[in-house]
Chain A
Amino acid sequence: MIEKPVLIRDDGLRHDGRKPEDLRPIKMQVGILKNADGSAYVEYGKTKVVAAVYGPREVHPRHLALPDRALIRCRYHMAPFSTSDRKSPAPSRREIELSKVIREALEAVIFSELYPRTSIDIFIEVLQADGGTRTTGLTAASLALADAGIPMRDLIAGVAVGKVDGVLVLDIDEVEDEYGEADMPIGYAASIDEIMLLQLNGVLTPEEFKKAIELAKEGARKIYDQMKKTLHDKYLKIIEK
C-alpha cells in the first residue's frame, strides 16, 4: 500500500492549501446542450459533471407509466475516461446505488403529480472524478431540472463533509476521501431548509455529526447561492447581447 499522505499540514491547512471550511473552486453553466430540455455543467475543483434532463415526455416502455404522477428516472454514470484506470462503461453496483439516492433526493422536490403518465429522465455523466461526484452530480441535475422548466419546491445543492486526521473538513476530494476517517455527502435545499440526501461512510461521534451537518449546510448555502446566480446570469447575458 502507498504511504498515507499528509492530509492536515502543520499550519492547519489541508493538503491542497484549503482551510477546513473552504470549498474547492466551483464553476457552473446551464443550457449547454441543444438537444436536451435542460442541461448543466458543474465543476467542483477537478471533478467535472454534465447533467441533462428530458421531459415531461411519453414513457417508453409504456407499462412503466404511473397513473397519478410522472415517472422520474435517473442515471448516474461515470465515463470510462473519468478515472485514472479505465472504468468499465457498464453500470456498476455503486453507480446503480448513486442513481437511486440522487433520484430519491430529486423526487422529494419535483411536483411530479402535475404530469401523470409521463416520464422525466435525468442523465448525469461524470467526465472527470476527483471525489464528491455524487454531490456535484446532484447539483448539476438540480440545475438541469430548473433549466428544463420543471416545477420544483427548491433547488438542491450537494456537498460533502469529511473527517481527515480528526478534523472536520468541507468538500473533500479523492485523496481526503481515500485516507480520511469519514465521508458524509448531503443534499440541501437551502430555501426550505430541508436535507434531501444524507449518507455517511465512516465513523463520527454524535457531536461531530452535528458539527458536520452545520458545516455542510454552510457550504451548501454558498453553492446554492451560486446556482441561483448561474440561472439568473443565463438570462442576463442574453439581455446584454
Chain B
Amino acid sequence: MSNNLKILVADRQIVRPGDILAVMEQKIAKPMYNPEKHVYIYEDKIVSAVLGLASITDNDISVIPLEGRYFPRVGDTVIGLVVGVGITNWILDIRAPYKAILNAGEVIENFSPITTNLRDYIDVGDYIVAKIAVFDRTRDLLLTVKGKGLGKITEGIVIEIEPSRVPRVIGKKGSMLNLLTSKTGCNILVAQNGVVWIRCKDEKSSEIAVKAIRLIESRAHMRGLTEHVRMFLDKELA
C-alpha cells in the first residue's frame, strides 16, 4: 500500500467485520482481499474482514484475528495427532480443514512397504511435531519431520489452545514464551495450529505452566498482559 493512509482506528482497538480502518488517497479499481492482514480494500477504504484487534505499523494497517480455526501455511511448525495408518503413510489431524499426510520415507530410511509395518514406528494416538512441506489447496497437505526438534513426542504433556491465541502466547519477538520458560524452567513448544507441548522437571511447574497458558488464552486482548502473567507466575511459584 504505497499511498498515504488516513487511519481511523487506534492501535489495539477491537474491530469487527465491516469496520472502516483507514481511507486511502487514491481509489483502487477492483476490490481485493489481503488474507495475511485480514483486511479488504474497496474503492478508497480499508475495511476489517474479521473480528480482531487493529495493528498499526508505519503507515500500514492489519487486523490480528481473535477468533477462527487454524488455516495451514507452508513452513508452519505444527503438532498433529495420528488418526490413521496407511500402507506408505500416516494420516494426521492438525486441526485444519484438511487432512495432513506424513510419508513413511520421511521417517524410515530405505523404506519398503513389504518388509516394514508402519505401526511399529508411529501408531494411532501419537503426537508428532512436524513442518508443513507442501500445501497448494488442491490436495491434502504434506508434512515433513526432517529438521531440528521435529518428530514423535515421547514425554511431557500436550494441551490444545485456540489457534487465534498463538501469537499472544508467543508474544512480541517471543517475549511471553521467554517469560514462561525462564520462570517455570519448562521446555515449551507452541505450534502454529494451537497445540502446545510442555516438558517440565516436576509436576508442579507443569501445572503452573498450563495455568499460565490458560490465563493468556482467556485474556488475549488485554493490555499489559505480559506484566499480568509475570505477577501470576511469581505468586504461583513463591
List residues of A whose CB falls within 8 A of some B CB. 37-38, 55-58, 67, 109, 111, 114-118, 146-155, 189-192, 228, 231-232, 235-236, 238-239
Roughly how many angstroms separate A191 CA and B21 CA in the complex, as a whole number? Answer: 12
CB distance from B52 to the nearest CB of A (A): 8
Among A57, A235, A238, find the residue whose CB has the most chain B CB atoms closer than 10 A.
A235
Interface string of B32-47 (1 = CB under 8 A from A): 0101001010100001
Roughly how many angstroms separate A167 CA and B49 CA in the complex, as a whole number? Answer: 38
Indicate which residue in A55, A67, A147, A228 contacts B69 across the interface (CB closer than 8 Å).
A55
B75 at the A/B interface (Cβ < 8 Å)? no
Roughly how many angstroms separate A154 CA and B67 CA in the complex, as a whole number? Answer: 16
Among B19, B40, B65, B67, find the residue whose CB has the most chain A CB atoms closer than 10 A.
B67
17 contacts between A and B (CB under 8 A): A67-B138, A109-B17, A114-B33, A115-B71, A116-B138, A146-B16, A146-B51, A146-B67, A151-B40, A152-B17, A152-B18, A152-B49, A189-B18, A192-B18, A192-B47, A228-B16, A232-B16
Indicate which residue in B19, B35, B71 contacts A228 across the interface (CB closer than 8 Å).
B19
List residues of B whose CB falls within 8 A of some A CB. 14, 16-20, 33, 35, 38, 40, 42, 47, 49-51, 65-69, 71, 97-99, 137-138, 164, 218-219, 221-222
CB distance from A234 to the nearest CB of B (A): 9
A-B contact count (CB 8 A): 101
Indicate which residue in A111, A114, A192, A231 contacts B16 across the interface (CB closer than 8 Å).
A231
Q: Report the nearest B residue to A58, measured CB to CB.
A: B97
Q: Report the nearest B residue to A118, measured CB to CB.
A: B97
Roughly how many angstroms separate A116 CA and B139 CA in the complex, as a whole number? Answer: 10
Point out the residues of chain A lying under 8 angstroms from B219, CB to CB: 238-239
Indicate which residue in B42, B51, B71 contacts A192 across the interface (CB closer than 8 Å).
B42
